[in-house]
Structure 1
Amino acid sequence: MYKVSEFSELTGLSKETLRYYAEVKLLEPAYINPNNNYRYYDDGSYFLAVLLVKLRKLGFSIQEMISVMEDESFTHLEYLLKEKKFKIEKQISELQLQIEEIDDFLASGMEE
């Protein structure tokens, strides 16, 4: 079992983030000591935390992460990842068009 400070250091999630994740039932402590309310995490919690860190880096919202954790299905996660990838590719395409428009505008100004 890991104390919150140890778990925070191990996962890279701040104590505040861990508290928030517990509050929204995204990552709850494995055990809460009834005498002092200290929260403890276990190895299973660690693997969930690593997944959550990865999902955040991939741009998942808290609600999307909750959806993944509630569903516990790789098929659902795969669908969400493909959807996220499609949206990013669309954004890249739109930004590329903006770059081309800027280049065209700059080129037309230099010709005059």
Structure 2
Amino acid sequence: MLSIGEFSKICEVSTKTLRYYDEIGLIHPDEINPENGYRYYSIKQLKKMLLINRLKSYHFSLEEIKSILDLEDDQTEEKLGLALNRKRREIQEKLNYFEYTIKQISNDILNLEIGVPLMSYIDNIEVQLVETTPMNILYTRQMMNSDDYALGYGQYFSRLYEKIATEQLTMLGTPMTIYHSPEYNPTGNDTEFAIPIKEIVTGTRDLPGGLRAKSVLQGAYPELTSVYAKLREWVETEGYVLVESPYEIYVTDPNQATTAEDMVTEVYFPIKKK
């Protein structure tokens, strides 16, 4: 048996952290002396603690780690493999974003050095006035918090793709997201995921056509805030008002884009004259 101090030293985890892990049910001491409360860990628990450390280094949350450790032995390897693949995708997405951010910072530095204002790029965002036709969309709608947005939209669109494949429906366009909340709320935003299809079935609705202010982003999704700002400015300047929820159409599949610069997103503001 190992004292909590010895166990702490070998695994490079503080005794305070080990006590917290015990409280949340992540890893319990193998034995606690009833007389003095001293905690002891078995040699076999070293492997479990090292697994916890390894998963933490892969940026798994303690909750995610606990769900993996709670699995039955015959499920552990398969579920662990799926979890690792998912985490690898998440980390790769973050790496891609950081690479894109470094390029942006470098460009900003160069522009500042030659006297170009940092935010002047917004003036170069183009806005078009277009007329769209109605679409029949297969959709799912739910409240999304900030963590949901950070994880991405893949899981929501995958459900729609699954229904399309199962019922052999005909796609007529690329995925889109419609934002219904009147303001941003980190705890929950009314968000609709949709794919245009030919057939009218359970789970479809009509998306009306009409006058739209349209802009196109070629680049990473975080830049969409600049596009929204430009569109809102244009709508105000040109004497229009927003009449329905804005929406985005993803022209390119983010999973197939090799770089952030390859991603193309169309943004539409439904409008009318004041």
* TM-score where L is the length of structure 1: 0.88
- Write the distance in 2 (CA, Å) between the matches of 1:84 and 1:30: 30
> Alpha-carbon deviation of 1:100?
2.3
Equivalence for 1:69: 69
Equivalence for 1:81: 84
Counterpart of 2:78, as a letter, is: T
1:19 correspondence with 2:19: yes
Question: In the TM superposition, what are the counterparts of 1:11-50 in structure 2 within 5 Å?
Answer: 11-50=11-50
Runs of 5+ unmatched residues, structure 1: none
- Write the distance in 1 (CA, Å) between the matches of 2:110 and 2:11: 49
Quick check: 95-104 or 19-28, which moved more?
95-104
CA spacing shift, 1:96–1:35, aligned 2, 3 Å: same
Counterpart of 1:40, as a letter, is: Y
* TM-score where L is the length of structure 2: 0.38
- Write the distance in 1 (CA, Å) between the matches of 2:11 and 2:104: 43
1:91 correspondence with 2:91: no
Number of residue equivalences: 112
Question: Which of structure 1's runs of 4+ aligned residues deviate more than 6 A?
Answer: none
CA spacing shift, 1:35–1:108, aligned 2, 3 Å: closer
CA spacing shift, 1:81–1:110, aligned 2, 3 Å: same
> Alpha-carbon deviation of 1:82?
1.0
- Write the distance in 2 (CA, Å) between the matches of 1:83 and 1:96: 20
- Write the distance in 2 (CA, Å) between the matches of 1:14 and 1:27: 14
What's the secondary structure of 2:26's corresponding residue? coil
> Alpha-carbon deviation of 1:76?
1.2
- Write the distance in 1 (CA, Å) between the matches of 2:85 and 2:38: 39
Alpha-carbon displacement from aligned partner over 1:56-93 (angstroms, at most 9, x marks no partner): 11111110111111115011111111111101111111
Counterpart of 2:4, as a letter, is: V
Q: Whose Rg is larger?
A: 2
- Write the distance in 2 (CA, Å) between the matches of 1:4 and 1:82: 33
More helix by share: 1
Which one has more relative contact order, counting CA pairs under 8 Å at least 6 apart?
1
Pairwise CA RMSD: 1.6
Runs of 5+ unmatched residues, structure 2: 116-274
More strand by share: 2
